[in-house]
Amino acid sequence: LETNLDIKDEYDNQEIHVHNARIHNLKNVSVSILKNSIILITGVSGSGKSSLAFDTIFTESQKQFMDLVLSNQMLNNTFSDVYVDKITGLQPSIAIEQRNLGVNPRSTVGSVTKIADVFKLLFATIGKRVCPWCHQVVDDSNVCKDCGAILFDRTPQVFSYNHPDYMCPLCKGLGVEMRIDEEKIVEHPEKSLLDGASSLYGDLRKHRKKPNANWMRGEILALADDMNVDLELPFYRLPKEFKQQFFYGSNGREVSLAYENSKGRSGVIRRPVEGAINLIQRLAHDTKATRSTDQVHQFMSKKTCSCCQGERLLEEGRLVNIQGYRYPEVVSLSIDKLRKWCHRIYEQLIKEQQDKTRMIFIKLNQRLKKIQSVGLGYITLNRSVPSLSGGEAQRLKLATQFGTGLSNILYIMDEPSKGLHPKDYRFLMDAIVDLKKYGNTVILVEHKKSFLTIADMHLHMGPKAGRYGGELVFVHHRKEIENQLISQDCSDDFDTIKVIDSVSLDNNKAIKDTYIQLKGVTTNNLKNIDVAIPIGMMTAVIGVSGSGKSTLISKTLYPYIMSSLGRTVEEKGTFQKVIGIESFEDVCYVNQKAIGSNSRSNPGTYTGVFDLIRQCYADTQQAKKKNLSKEYFSFNSKKGQCPECSGLGEVAVNMHYMDNLYVPCNKCHGKRYSKEVLKITRKDCSIGDILDIEIHDLLEVFQEEKEIVRQLSMLNKVGLGYLKLGQSASTLSGGEAQRIKLAKELNKNECKNILYILDEPTTGLHEEDVEKVIDVLKELKEKGATIIIIEHNLKMIKKCDYIVELGPGGVQGGHILQAGFQKREGDFI
Ligand code: ADP
Ligand code: ADP
Ligand code: ZN
Ligand code: ZN
């Protein structure tokens, strides 16, 4: 007899069934997903796409897998009981999230693709060793015949710059060292030292008028007197010998130094000149001076390591060669060249060596080909991963994580199109279709309509965000998708973007005060380009991935403006000059970097609005009566927080081999504060409730508080009304973090004379949300701001006044394809 308690045979070859998912805002979502197909999930941000794809399906798959592997019941607090009734038919899953490949400067294209390991093996197998002392070739034994030196064993590690025994001892395998940079000491060689050519010494004219006990400045004046040098001259015109001593000191020769102490007493002493570089070095070693580190860093820049010439290895490893090619040389060839190199070298080997290395060469060829197939043939293996552009990193991920040859895997991807121009989608779509061909299932959380062309299923979440979302609005299969494709224009067509006329920089006088002008830019792949960007306008910088957009804006213009505002920058671009930036009082750079990995930071604390809210609670009669100051209303302060969870509202349960699972604190029930603090309420809400209410609903609670409403409205305007003020910053997506930064900046009242630079502000946004961000930016512009956006979203680009298009991608790229005001329909020209 079959009862309701008997479980039916639930194995299903065809579909994955999700029953009643309810994590976050999901409202008991049930859906059947076709296996061996491509599933597109869309919806406004905050509608629940990631909650379904990652937090439900992926997490449950991980859990079922762990249950299988860990036979004992370690996982008694089971996820599925709480957040979903059951999921059947699951496949092992791999999540491909937006998280970057890494910011570790040690990771290179060669190391993340593992291709470097194969080359190391090749060099260890057939490489010729050369003695670093007498430079003679050493045969198979470890002793150099000519000088008797004992060499390392021939192992792949010899080529590893991460290995303490084989890395360059000076740069520790990084290839660069921080060195004091003359150019940073004299940042404005076109000015005189008296007028502040050097940021180290500042304005010496003032000092000359009124000498004080500042030896450092006095020394330079004394040196000039001693050498009879006219300090009114611009720095670059000063005699070479003076410049030498200015930087490196007078080598013991004494000069006469006039001084006046704070009591007004003056005198002259004789002493040698220390010199700028020695001075900075002394500060750097003076560990007692707290100010030193920052100040010293300001005058240093990264330079190629002087010991290994940037090759990162000990000389012994650097000298091993195959037919005259050394390992560091080989990893600095482009992938395209490298593949040809492999073919050529293999052909030239003798039979015995060919036999030894055939498998190695086959592997190399396969992997290099894979990288070429995603269009990255121009990249080198020694390129550091953090220096790749977003789109390049994305494609590298495709080439490495996708090409495993596994089948029956469920791949779940978070906005794989991020950072890519529609022209780059081809690589991505091909790779995804390949995955399906090999028998895998692919779930894509994506906003780009183009992806409908490869989708077998389309799930749309909504209808809105947060608690107004969390439902499946529709599920389309291939037939309905095809109808949709016919009825709508689903191409993200960039060819329609045209400019009226390219502005000629040379023949146009009017351009002088109204444009930022960059001349002769050659940073990275840029081909000596001249660019003008109108002040007070909204400019879109567009182009395929790797064309040089970030190089131009984030790595050239931004650091230049920062340094001209007197702030420190790590790297600067290379260019002839930049003009027209005098009017900017500030520059604000908004990118997608997380706003804090700290679980104590959240949208409320980050924007500062929670500060106002705490004050508001402290100002209530109840709080005053109990002497509860503002500090009590901070969950980070010991005074008011729940002692059990230290104000986090949740406690971690150790899940051993997985990430910790968080469950609500059983003392405060997730409210974060002590009982006493929670008793203070406004409109029936305690401060703990406030952190758990979505932003759009808070507007009502604080109706009468003008400033709080203003700040909350801004978060609402950029499409984040669905967030809770207390949601931990570490759980926010890149796009959300970016819009929080944007809202924070926009809340500053003054935006005239400020340059805003935004790196793909539409990431993670659905069409509707894009409109909201556009409105906010327009408002900014009306208030007098200048806005530059690096962007791939057609809708956003169309709203910009001015376009700078770069292309093509890679080393051949870095040209300006077009630049000028955007041509609108109906324009006469
Ligand atoms: P989408 O992927 O469609 O942008 P999400 O699934 O990320 O949406 O979010 C759906 C809702 O769940 C939103 O209201 C969001 O604020 C909330 N949410 C997402 N992640 C968390 C989390 N870790 N903790 C609490 N709420 C969350
Ligand atoms: P985009 O922002 O248009 O995607 P980028 O400006 O990031 O492109 O990159 C432009 C070109 O410069 C690419 O070919 C990229 O590989 C190269 N590049 C970027 N950063 C570096 C670097 N640190 N070292 C060498 N090449 C770089
Ligand atoms: Zn070195
Ligand atoms: Zn607690």
Supply the residue whose CA is at minimum distance from atom 15 of ligand 1: 46
Q: How far apart are CA 282 and CA 295, in angstroms?
A: 12
Question: Best of 385, 551, 812 to mutate for ligand 2, by most ligand atoms within 8 A of CB?
Answer: 551
Q: Which of 173-187, 521-535, 735-749 has the highest mean pLDDT?
A: 521-535
Cα 401 from chain centroid (whole Å): 20
Q: How confident is the model at residue 7 (pLDDT cuts 50, 70, 90)?
A: very low
Q: Which ligand is nearest to the CA of 45?
A: 1
Residue 503 has pLDDT above 60, yes or no: no
Question: Best of 421, 424, 524 to mutate for ligand 2, by most ligand atoms within 8 A of CB?
Answer: 524
pLDDT recorded at residue 519: 95
Q: How confident is the model at residue 3 (pLDDT cuts 50, 70, 90)?
A: low
Averaged pLDDT, 76-101:
73
pLDDT recorded at residue 516: 94
Closest ligand 1 atom to the C-alpha of 736?
Answer: 4
Q: How confident is the model at residue 661 (pLDDT cuts 50, 70, 90)?
A: low
Q: Which two tokens stand for residue 13?
A: 């070859």
- The Å distance, Cα 809 to ligand 2 centre, comes to 9
Report residues whose beta carbon is within 6 angstroms of any ligand 2 atom.
387, 389, 391-392, 524-525, 543, 545-551, 810-811
Averaged pLDDT, 662-667:
84
Question: Domains in the chain and their CATH numbers?
Answer: 15-99+388-487 (3.40.50.300), 109-175+306-373 (1.20.1580.10), 179-304 (1.10.8.280), 494-595+732-829 (3.40.50.300), 598-730 (1.20.1580.10)
Q: What is the rounded average pLDDT for all residues in the chain?
A: 87
Residue 52 has pLDDT above 70, yes or no: yes
Residue 146 has pLDDT above 90, yes or no: no
460 lines ligand 1 (CB under 6 A): no
762 lines ligand 1 (CB under 6 A): no
25 lines ligand 1 (CB under 6 A): yes
Supply the residue whose CA is at minimum distance from atom 25 of ligand 2: 524
Q: Which two tokens stand for residue 502?
A: 């390219």
722 lines ligand 1 (CB under 6 A): yes
- The Å distance, Cα 427 to ligand 2 centre, comes to 19
Q: Which two tokens stand for residue 823?
A: 């041509």
As residues whose CB is below 5 A from the ion ligand 4, the structure lists 642, 644-645, 665, 667-668
50 lines ligand 1 (CB under 6 A): yes
Averaged pLDDT, 747-753:
79
Q: How confident is the model at residue 652 (pLDDT cuts 50, 70, 90)?
A: confident
Between residues 663 and 217, the one the model is more confident about: 217
Supply the residue whose CA is at minimum distance from atom 27 of ligand 1: 24
- The Å distance, Cα 323 to ligand 3 centre, comes to 25
State which H helix or E strand residue 242 sits in.
Answer: helix 240-248
Residues 526-576 have pLDDT tens digits of 999 999 999 999 999 999 888 999 999 999 999 999 988 888 787 889 999
83 lines ligand 1 (CB under 6 A): no
- The Å distance, Cα 699 to ligand 4 centre, comes to 26
Supply the residue whose CA is at minimum distance from atom 14 of ligand 2: 810
Closest ligand 2 atom to the C-alpha of 391?
Answer: 4
**Percent of the chain topping pLDDT 70:** 90
Q: Which ligand is nearest to the CA of 170?
A: 3
Q: Which of 165-169, 188-192, 726-730 has the highest mean pLDDT?
A: 165-169
Closest ligand 2 atom to the C-alpha of 806?
Answer: 3
Contact 53, 41 (CB under 8 A): yes
Residue 237 has pLDDT above 70, yes or no: yes
pLDDT recorded at residue 729: 86
Contact 805, 495 (CB under 8 A): no
Question: Best of 24, 79, 693, 724 to mutate for ligand 1, by most ligand atoms within 8 A of CB?
Answer: 24
For 115, 119, 365, the CA distances from 360, given in Å and listed in that order, are: 10, 8, 9
46 lines ligand 1 (CB under 6 A): yes
pLDDT recorded at residue 622: 93
Q: How far apart are CA 35 and CA 90, in angstroms?
A: 9
**Percent of the chain topping pLDDT 90:** 52
466 lines ligand 1 (CB under 6 A): yes
Amino acid at 497: I
pLDDT recorded at residue 98: 60
Residue 829 has pLDDT above 50, yes or no: no
Averaged pLDDT, 151-164:
91
Residues 298-355 have pLDDT tens digits of 888 888 999 999 999 999 999 999 999 999 999 999 999 999 999 999 999 999 999 9
Between residues 419 and 312, the one the model is more confident about: 312
Render 756-818 in DSSP notation, one character per residue: EEEE-TTTT--HHHHHHHHHHHHHHHHTT-EEEEE---HHHHHT-SEEEEEESSSTT--EEEE
Looking up tokens 């931990």 gives 728
pLDDT recorded at residue 71: 57
Q: How confident is the model at residue 172 (pLDDT cuts 50, 70, 90)?
A: very high
Q: How far apart are CA 253 and CA 251, in angstroms?
A: 6
Supply the residue whose CA is at minimum distance from atom 5 of ligand 1: 48
Contact 645, 651 (CB under 8 A): yes
Residue 822 has pLDDT above 60, yes or no: yes
pLDDT recorded at residue 452: 92
Residues 250-271 have pLDDT tens digits of 999 999 887 777 677 778 889 9
Phi, psi of 662, deg, nearest 5:
-105, 135
Tally of helices (H runs) and strands (E runs) in the chain = 31, 30
Question: Best of 22, 25, 415, 601 to mutate for ligand 1, by most ligand atoms within 8 A of CB?
Answer: 25
Residues 102-135 have pLDDT tens digits of 667 788 999 989 999 999 999 999 999 999 989 8
For 215, 218, 519, 573, the CA distances from 224, given in Å and listed in that order, are: 14, 10, 35, 33
Q: What is the ipTM of this complex?
A: 0.85
b/e map 637-652, b = 16+ CB within 10 Å: eeebbbeebebbbbbe
Q: Which two tokens stand for residue 196?
A: 């502040």
- The Å distance, Cα 47 to ligand 1 centre, comes to 8
Q: How far apart are CA 175 and CA 609, in angstroms?
A: 44
- The Å distance, Cα 650 to ligand 4 centre, comes to 6
